[in-house]
Structures are given as structure tokens and as C-alpha cells.
Structure 1
């Protein structure tokens, strides 16, 4: 499919861009039509991502689905889009979360302000582009596209808490963008290129006198990525921003920290996997990740609001991924990729549940803007004629309670779901680390691996206590409260994300095989580099040769 239709690699960028333009043309009065277009585009994006993943799995040991030369200019002179196993995995993750968030927004939030759906699609364009681009400058461009849309989405729905946290969020991300540009300038001054494959190819040729400047540029660039990845102490913006924004936007924002993680994984494994600069910065990533896990666990224990619990869960997952990356071993990286899938889906579902659970109040009404919602049309799962109305457990409360319980198991990493499988895989991989950082099933783990081992267990305990406390407050102590009004699309969004986690549990072995192949390709990036630098422009039409004496 990839070979027959090579332009499919640009579809994850072009599709949301064209959809956003169409949504702007529809106008503000056709809200239901815009919502349908938004959901349809998200579904189409997911199907495209699945096809790209199928091509990446069929790409052999390199896992390269293809290299798309924009404007038909070869690397490193032109813009390049590259889809390997990691890129395809991230595209599928974006597709699943965005589809469920778009479904949830159809209930009310898509009509709470202007341009929600267009901004939603621009956000997807930035996310997909960041995962596909093959050079650092266009990574910066897609970062800015993603952030510009996120500013509008965060403020969507108004309210002073949203404005206050939004200003903080904007200021921090503008600082990160400035650091991004400084790091790019230094790297370009040393390397003369910003193509990631070309930098990796030429890194061994950098003279010793310039290597310090190279490391300084990479460090500044890494700080920009780490701010986006919510590393401690650069993550004070995340919890207030994510807790204040609307539920579908918060679910989508759970992907944004993964952009920072992806950028670090991609650049670090390409640039510092071998040679004189091998493992540069690995110790910093490891111990900063450990500090981030500890900070997130403390935040979980101190949080009473369900929105803040979800925000600190994002921080714990980011710290876990950064610490796992810092170990520099394929086995730990493979387990971390599986953990990333489970944690992102679980936290996105938890963000969607926050608003639904908080509707369980004395009046049982929704806590969303006063919109022109027509009653009687797909409004509540507990209609008057429903057989369970008046019973001890109405449909909506029973459904929310079950979904919350599943989310709690996933976030805390308790059996039998994919969160437990992911943490067990991580713990097993950590136990196989030697003191020098190399894997061995019989050698004792290094001290840093033991610390990470303990923090993973403690963070799971903190999440269990915090979520159990929240569950008791919202579901157990509910005397005299009416069941919340719950729309079918809202329930379907949460159930869809949780079903994906259940599928991860049922098909853990094939998914783990895919993550092992992905990790192996990341730590041996030669195939990726060769695929990008060997891609040649497609021949275009040529002028026919005019024989002497013939009319032109």
C-alpha cells in the first residue's frame, strides 16, 4: 500500500489542514455539521495511521514505511517526512485519542465557543507533523502549529481559572520555543544541517574542539523538549493548565507531553547512540526522570480534585518514560513504549471522566456552558422510561463507577489490565540491568535501576490511594444525590479508550513484539539514516528529444 500510494505519508498533515479550512467555510451556525466533519476527519486520520503502521511493520528490520520528499527535493536539502515504527505508533495513538475526544466534544463543548473544531484539527496537524518530520527545523514549525492551536483550545469556554492558567501556559511555552530556536542555531552552526539523519551521519566527523559547542546546543534543545515533556522542576504549568481546561481538550493535551518525549527519544537515539558522544545526557535524563516520578507521586497524594489527580498522573508517566530512556537499553525502552500506550490512553479516559464524575451533585445537572442543547434527543442514559430509574444504581452512576474503577486500575498499574502488564514489563527489564547499564538476566540491577524500581511501586501506591479516596468521595458518599445527565457520545468516548486498554491487555504479546522491534530500531538507527539519505527524487516529465530537421 505504501509503495503503491506513497502520498499517504503526507495525509496525516494535509487531511487535518484541509478539514480545518472546510470547517472555517461552514460558518458558526452549522454546528452539528461541523461536529460531524470533525469526527469524520478524526476517524479518517485513524484509518490512515493504521495503514501507515501496517506498512511500517512490513518494512523489514528497518521498520521504515517510507520517506516522502516534499517538493521532490532529496535530504538534507529539502523537507522530509519519515514514517518508521515509532512514528506510526504515535500516529495511531493520536488517532485513537483524537477520535474519542472529538466524539466527547460533540455533546456540548464543540458549541461552547467559536472555532473549536478548526483549532482541534490544526492541533492534530501539529501533532502528526511533529511525529513525521525528519528535520529539526520543521519539528520546530510543527511544535509552533501545535502550540498555537493549543492556546485557543485551552481558553475555549472562558472562565477566570482557565485564563489565569492559560497565561502561565502560554508564557512557559514561549520560553520553550525561544530555547528551541537557540538550540537549533547552535546545532546548525556546528553541523551545517538540521536534517536529523544527516546530523547523525556527520556527528563522528565533528572535531574535538567543536564537540563542546555541539553538546551545548543539544543541551539547550533538550531543555525545550523537557519543558514540553513536563520534567521536574519545569512542570509547574501542567497541572493548573490541564485541570482548568475542558475535558476533551485535556484528553488531547495528554498527547502533547508525549511530543516532548518523542523528540527526546528520536534525537537522543539518533545523535548519541554511538561514537565519542555516546550516551551524552543519559544520566541527566535518568535522575531527572526519577525526580519527576517522586514529585508526581507526592502531588497525587496531596491532590483532592480529580482533575489535579489526572494532571499529576501525566507527570508520573512522563518521569517514568524519561527515566527509562536514560537507561539507554533496548529492553527498558521496549517496555517503556508499551507503558506509554497504556498510560496515555488511561489518562485521556480519566480526563474525560473528570467532568462526568463531577456532575454527580445535588441536582444531577451537567457542569458545562449553558448551550442550546435540545432535550429529548440523545440527552441522557437515564430517561424516564428506562427500567433502572429509581433503583439503587441508575445506569449513569453504574457506568461511571465501573469506568472510574477501570481507570484507577490502569493508572495505578494494578492487575489484570494493561497498566499492570506495562509496569511488570518495566520492572522485569530493570531487574535485568547490570551495574554498567547492560542487560543481563543474572546480574544485579544498578543502583539507579533499583531507585526507579522502587519509585514505580511507590507511585502506583500513591495513585491507588489517591484514586480510591476520590472514588469514595464521588461514588460512595452520594446520599440523596440525583444521577447525572450523561449523553451516549460521552459514554462512548470513555468506553472507547478503555476498550483500547483492554485490547492492549488481550493482545499484549504481539504489541510487545512490535515495541521490541521499535526499540531495536531506535538503538540501532543505521537503517533509519540510510533510508532517509538514500531516498531519491521521483523522475518528472522531460522534454522529448527533437531530431535535427523536425519541427519543434
Structure 2
């Protein structure tokens, strides 16, 4: 038996950024062009590899699952990497955001620090590993690689505000790492394994006296993931960090917040589904009500803040809360629309955090203060006669890009945010054959999603009015092509997501169906044999 070359594509998203990051580390600042070329080439290769994995998972691999046994040790003793439709989709999203962040950072931000590109590659290694690993301890390792790289990147181009926010970010995540280790140890003591598929197969057979220890371990482990997913009240750190981080780093923070929600989705549906015996659906109510509380907290924060960076942070909290509430709601058809919302909201918020710095160039401190004063005291201004002055191209781009971000984040037509929320509402009202129909909890969730969109459009319109129409002192900014292209590309991806909504929904429906069948993963991960060596194959 030999391993097909396509199976090796599963490990590429981890090995490639690791090698590139290590190769770039010794290079000094004078090698900036070479460092950017290597880092950008790595991101392009990761995108091509992720698209290939998506195609393989959707058509070539049995049951859409590719298993790679690192060091050729069979599960659960060795490290198993698993690529399926969902993880491949997350890898594509990661590569797209990485390309946008690198492209935006090229003129200025990546030149400030010597090791920016190395840290960025190690961050990609950690994020990709978290999406692919099927082992809790290695998930911890990839989390720590991701977080260690992010500590340096959050401090990148440091000032007093960034230093203060990064210290809070580091402290919170170190505590979360401790919870991760303790929870993992308790689960290993209970089940005797750290492989997720193997754990899912053993949970149902646990003795009643072991269920309490299992639940304690899961609760401690969940705290680590929910800190990263910014669930209320654990997400207090996120708005400050988003506002303080440099724009390209903030793009990756948007994705890192979603990693926590992804792990919750993957682990809870695999290990604590209907077939988990006494542990079935453990923690689902906490995810549901905690997610809805997070939506309320994020919406209230958007209404309360007048800082663009914090506005983006609270928007990410609303998005994360929606995903957690959907997981806790426990309806398979709803997960499909939530995954579409996952992608749409991530693209929109990432574009918005890049746009913030460009928009700030047209806002002088005096103009901002005048706009706030006029709003606070309801000052009426009689408009002067129009003079027929044309709108500069830079101003037109910024205003149109801001409008697209606002529509998508708020979930208004015609962009992908509206498609995502309409899909979730349709799934809630029409749960499918054999379901009991929407109850009070479903109506509450629907109302919160709707009201959070209303809060988002009020907050974003208020920011837009203050920025683009408040005073006549606003002037056209100077925009670098490398800064405009990634914003436009992310918004174009959002438009394509809207135009191709049907095939994307079909793909995500198959991904959702896969993760709702734990037996499928248990069979493939446990049943994948190691590759026989030459001696074993000899007659």
C-alpha cells in the first residue's frame, strides 16, 4: 500500500508556512523585497493548495474526508490531520485574508519590524493547524503557535495604546491557555484518549460515575475556546485589541476570533451529539443562551462606541455570538446558513478594518470634534448653494467601500450579509421534516439577529455621516494602490459570494451534513491504516 500524492496536500498548509517563516527569520530589514516575495508566494501557494483540498473533499475522497497520519502512526496513537469540506473552506478563507493583509502591509506596515513576515507565517501555520488537527493536544500546540505569533504582531509598530492593549491580550490568552491544558488533562483522564474521533467513540460507553469528571473537563476546556470566540462576558478584551492593532494584523485577528467558534462547532457536534449517551447535547443550552447574550452585548457596544476600531470589534463579537447560538440551538439546517454567515461576516469585517485607516486620512481632529459637537447640541446648518465640485476618485472609492461594508455587516440587501441572515431566518421558520417547528427560543434568536443588524446599521450610518458629510473641511486622501487592492478584493469576494450563493450554500450543506454524522469521522480516522514499509510489502 502506498500513499497517493494528493494525501500529502493535507500537511502542506502546516509545513509550508513553517519552512517559510524559519527561512525568513535570519534575514535583516534590507531584504524586505525578498521577504515580501517569499511570504506572498507562500500565501498564494496556500490558496491554491486549499482550493485543491476543497475539490478533493467534495468529489475525490471517500465520504469527503482525507486523513493524513503524521509519522505514519495509526490513530489514536499518532497525530491525525483531517481535511474535509469544512476545514478546506476555512483554509481557503485563511489564505484569502492572508493575501489581503500581506498586500496591504507591503508599502508601510511590514517594513516597520524586522520579523513581521516570519511571525505572519508562523501565525498562518497555527491557524491552519487548528483547522486540520484532529487531536486535542496538538490543537493546543497549534493554538499556542498562533497566539505566540500574534503577540508579536499585535505589538508591531508599537505605541502606548498598542502596548497597553497587547498586555491585556497576552494576559487573557495566557489564562485561557491554562484552562486549555487543565481541560485537556481532565478529558484524557476520563476517556484515555486525545484523538477527537476516538474520544467521540468512547464517550458513549463511559460509566455513569465518570460523566461528572467528563463534564468538568469539558466546561474548563470550553472556557479556553470561548475566550478566543469572545463569548460574553469573556470577550471584554476584543474591542480594545482590534482598535489598537495595526490594520493588517487586525484582519488576522478577525479570523482568529472565528477559530474559537470553529473548534466549538467541530468538537461539540462530533463528541457531544445525539450518540454521546449520557453526555448527549451537554453544554448546548449554555452555548445557546451565552451566544444570544453575546449578540446583545455586541449590539449594545456598537451603539455605545464612536471609535471605528471598536465598532469593528463589537461587530466581530455579534458575528461570533450568532455562530455560538446556532451551535447551541442544535438544528442541522441552521448550521448551513450560519457557515455562510461565518464567511460573509469575516470578509466584511476584514475589509472594514483595512478601510478604517484609509478613512481616517480624510478626518482631521477639528472636523471630527465639530461633527460630534453638532450632533450633541443638535446644531442646524443651512446648506450653501452647490458649487458643482466633482467627487475625487479616492473619496468615491472610500464611500462606496464603506457602504458595501456597512450593508454586509448589518445584513441589508443586496450583498451576502442579507443572504446569510435570510438563510438563517428561513431555516428557523422551516426546520425541515420531522422537526417540531420554531419555538419561543427560535423567535428570540431571530429577533436578536434582526435587532443586532438594526444596531449595526445605526452605528455604521452614524459613523459614515460624521466622516463623509459632517463638515466641509474633509479633503481627498492619498491612497496607495497596494492599500486599495486588498479592500476591493475582499469586497469583490463578498459580491461573488452573493452572486454564487446557491453553489456555495450547496457546498456548505454537504459540509454541515458531514459534521452532523460523527460515525463517519470515527470510522475514517480509526480505520485509516499506516502506510506499509518496503519490508512489509515484500513477498
TM value normalised by structure 2: 0.93
Q: How does 1:8-407 map to 2 (within 5 A)?
A: 8-59=9-60, 62-64=63-65, 66-273=66-273, 274=275, 275-362=277-364, 392-407=390-405
| CA-to-aligned-CA distance 1:87-122 (integer Å, 9 cap, x gap) | 111111101111111100112100122211110110
Shift of 1:346: 0.5
CA distance in 2, matches of 1:519, 1:278: 19
Q: Choose which of 413, 416, 419 in structure 2 pairs with 1:418.
A: 416
Secondary structure at the aligned position of 1:114 is classed as coil
| Per-residue CA distance 1:243-270 (angstroms, 9 max, x = gap) | 1000000011101111101111111011
User: In structure 2, the residue corresponding to 1:29 is in which secondary structure?
Assistant: helix
In the aligned structure 2, how far is the partner of 1:343 from the partner of 1:304?
21
Q: Does the 8 Å contact 2:28/2:114 carry over to 1?
A: no
Q: 1:460 aligns with which of 450, 453, 457?
A: 453
SS at match of 1:483: coil
Structure 2: runs of 5+ lacking an equivalent = 367-387
Q: Which of residues 463, 473, 481 in structure 1 aligns to 2:474?
A: 481
Matching residue of 1:7: 8
Q: Which has the higher helix share?
A: 2
d(CA) in 1 for partners of 2:284, 2:4: 37
Give how far 1:61 is off: 7.4
TM-score (norm 1): 0.90
Work out the number of aligned pairs and report it.
514
Residues 91 and 128 of structure 2 are in contact (CA less than 8 Å); yes or no, is this contact kept in structure 1? yes
Shift of 1:363: 10
Helix, strand or coil for the counterpart of 2:67?
strand
Instruction: For residues 348-376 of structure 1, give each alpha carbon's deviation from its aligned partner in whole angstroms, at most 9, with x where no partner exists.
Output: 00110111111113499xxxxxxxxxxxx
**Does the residue aligned with 1:80 lie in a helix, a strand or coil?**
strand
Contact 1:363 / 1:482 at 8 angstroms: preserved in 2?
Answer: no
Deviates most, 53-62 or 523-532:
53-62
1:24 and 1:187 map into 2 onto residues whose CA distance is 37
Deviation, 1:85, is 1.1
Deviation at 1:322, TM superposition (A): 0.3
Counterpart in the other structure of 1:527 = 520
CA deviations on 1:186-220 (whole Å, 9 max, x unpaired) are: 00001111000100111121101101111111111
Q: Gaps spanning 5+ residues in structure 1: where?
A: 365-389, 434-438, 547-552
Which residue number in structure 2 is paired with residue 515 of structure 1? 508
Give the RMSD, CA atoms, in angstroms. Answer: 1.9
| Cα distance between partner residues in 2 of 1:46 and 1:451 | 39
CA–CA separation in structure 2 for the residues paired with 1:480 and 1:287: 46
Distance 2:139 2:181 in 1: 11
1:391: how far off?
5.3
Distance 2:130 2:60 in 1: 21
Structure 1 segments, 4+ long, off by >4 Å, are 439-444, 543-546
C-alpha contact (below 8 Å) 1:361/1:484 kept by paired residues = no
Contact 2:24–2:35 (8 Å) recurs in 1: yes
Indicate how the Cα distance of structure 1 residues 521 and 308 shifts in structure 2: closer, same or farther if over 3 A, else same: same
